[in-house]
Structure 1
Amino acid sequence: MASRTHAGAVPSTLPRHQILDEQGAIADDALLSPYVADVTVEQLQHLYRSMTGARRVDEEGTSLQRQGQLVLWVPLRGQEAAQVGSVWPTLPTDRIFPSYREHAVALERGVAPSDLMRLFRGITAGGWDPEKHNLNLYTMVLASQVPHAVGYAMGTALDRKAAQDAGTPPETAPEAVIAYFGDGASTEGEIHESMVFAASYDTPVLFFIQNNQWAISVPFATQSRVPLATRAAGYGFEGLRVDGNDILGVVAATRYALEKIRAGEGPVLIEAETYRMGAHTTADDPTKYRERDEEEQWGHLDPVDRLRAHLRDAHGVEDEFFETVARENDEIAQRMRADVLAMTPPRFEDSFAKAYAEQHSLVDAERAEYLDYQAGFAPQDEMDDHDTRGAGA
């Protein structure tokens, strides 16, 4: 489905790649089809399990927030193929820099669902060990992760060159870095600056844009007159457009890009054209700015439905598999819910110990002032007794 067009839009000759069409049938793509020729039915089943598992966790996250158990939740529904398809081809040594909606990326990278919830529960500012998963923590500041990704990629390239110059080349494959961001973030200055540096230093970074058609309430047609992938040419590197609801197309595009990056050919940009089916966050109401017809049209392009149809029609996968996966996903979601409800909120006074690595007299004074302030309140049990007596008066 084509996105709405700006009145002054410039026609683009950049092709939009697709391997798995809207009905789940294989369509030949001259450039990318060879990059998924080896994908087995077992691997497709894994991708389906990852996509549906992320969707089930997402549904439970929304439910928990609506019940007051999370401070906020950022839904991903509709973007499962873009996320799973782009992270699945990576190596464990590749470094990932997510934004704040990449739940399927985190889960595929081995992050536990309950750890994913810790940030949104308000328990911690992170949730997982970035070094264990080679996955940086979420950032709530739009586009701020992208300069970090480019800087990291520049560092890895310099480290590898230094090792080679010293006669001790690394035994592992060249490391790649992926920076995830959306169409809204693409208009931020940090993106432009990052791409300038990436091109100048041939950094091994993949800019992965999930164009979900809406920057909160601003449609993509207002944001850009051209497909975002065409911008790469202005910096001197390759840009690809791919159907972001096509799991095989995204896998192929990512493999193609990583191959070029590992060969030392510099950065690559992928624009995965997808759709945010739900709200921007649970603090948002998309009915205020989106038409129901648009949502229904994109609903027919659901990436999960597309892969399910392909598994049934092309590989004869039967209902038992899908029913088993659904049960497993429900069990994962319920365990996650139990973990979330068991999380103990941190004490506010403990946050003072996190301001500096070492003890600081000013922080000590501020902690003492806070504790003195808290001591001025009556104990909670006395407040409860007072409320009870008042209610019965």
Structure 2
Amino acid sequence: MGSWPLLALVLGFLAGIARGSEPWSNGTQVYSTNANSGSGSNGAFVALTLIQSAAAKGAVCLDGSLPGYHLHRGSGSGSNNWLVNLEGGGWCNDVKSCVFRKGSRRGSSNHMERQLQFTGIMSNRPEENPDFYNWNRVKVRYCDGGSFTGDGADAASGLYFRGQRIWQAAIDDLMAQGMRSASQALLSGCSAGGASAILHCDEFRGMFPSNTRVKCLADAGMFLDSVDIAGRREMRDVFNGIVRLQASGRSLPRSCTSRMDKTSCFFPQNVLPNIQTPTFILNTAYDVWQLQESLAPRTADPRGLWQSCKQNYASCNSNQLQFLNGFRNEMLNAVKGFSGSGQNGVFINSCFAHCQSERQDTWYSSNSPRLGNKRIAEAVGDWFFERGNAKYTDCAYPCDGTCHHLVFKGRHL
């Protein structure tokens, strides 16, 4: 298995992409996109609120600091609607990687930005976010390293695995802020936050009266239990470490753990078949995070034969594209039964990307990715408000000319 402190940097970088920070460099790597427009937004900057009641509940970050969220109040027709977005940013699956993580914003509120700009689905501007701009919009910060599922500790290392308690403390606090009387509520997230949205979806639904419209949106959260280029299952090893270290098993959906092992139930693909709440899966068929760290990690590619392909999709040879198309088929098969339900939605495009709902250029702009002539924001809005069909799957690469592909320039982390 590769270095998870190093992986945390990669995931932090990709989370930066989701917030629209391009171009970006840490001295070794620069990110760019082949799209013409950037991901700039005029969305509001929203202050961090620490959850003061969390400590008494043992709901603390990896280092014991208070968890928090950013809340931008709704107005007008959206004043009684709530969008709760779970921040992503990878995981830690052993003591070493969690100790590393607790010294960053991914493990401690002491290192979190005091303000975040809300872009994409979080934007407060109708021209950037037509359906949700005037809702109460909340970004719940991610500081537990276990997709808001852990419930344990490691006293020797000073680590607290309290993701499930953080989730509950945040929801309790938001309920007291007015969410209890919501007319409509949407739980969303991207990357590890997208996986969280699936794992907590039915739980979120159960917190509201039956007459409240409640749905879930998972962006880039479909981490598949796939075989990598060396024939190993990297993600299964990672998720098994998380579940064991953080005692996540009892927080995972019982609809899954009653029929499968706990590690399998950390994979969203195994939770989807029994999910009861209307859910929308937004994903790329060629997810660059999974390409970088799950399908072709360094440990599986000691000769670096995949290095060019991982940095620039245009450099992939025919055999590599064949392997990636096998992954695409796995992705489509994972949502096949799920997408057959009229209450669910899918938007799976054939782009080399990761997280598309929180970037302005991919969520809703003049040249955003489209399927069926629908931008992502339009497809999600149609699904949530039941305005029509919301099931879109792309043909295989390179047929889609609307993609915003990610290209990594320079040495890979």
TM-score normalised over the length of structure 2: 0.30
Comparing both structures, which one devotes a greater share of its residues to helix? 1
Comparing both structures, which one devotes a greater share of its residues to strand? 2
Q: Relative contact order (C-alpha < 8 Å, sep 6+): which is higher?
A: 1
TM-score normalised over the length of structure 1: 0.31
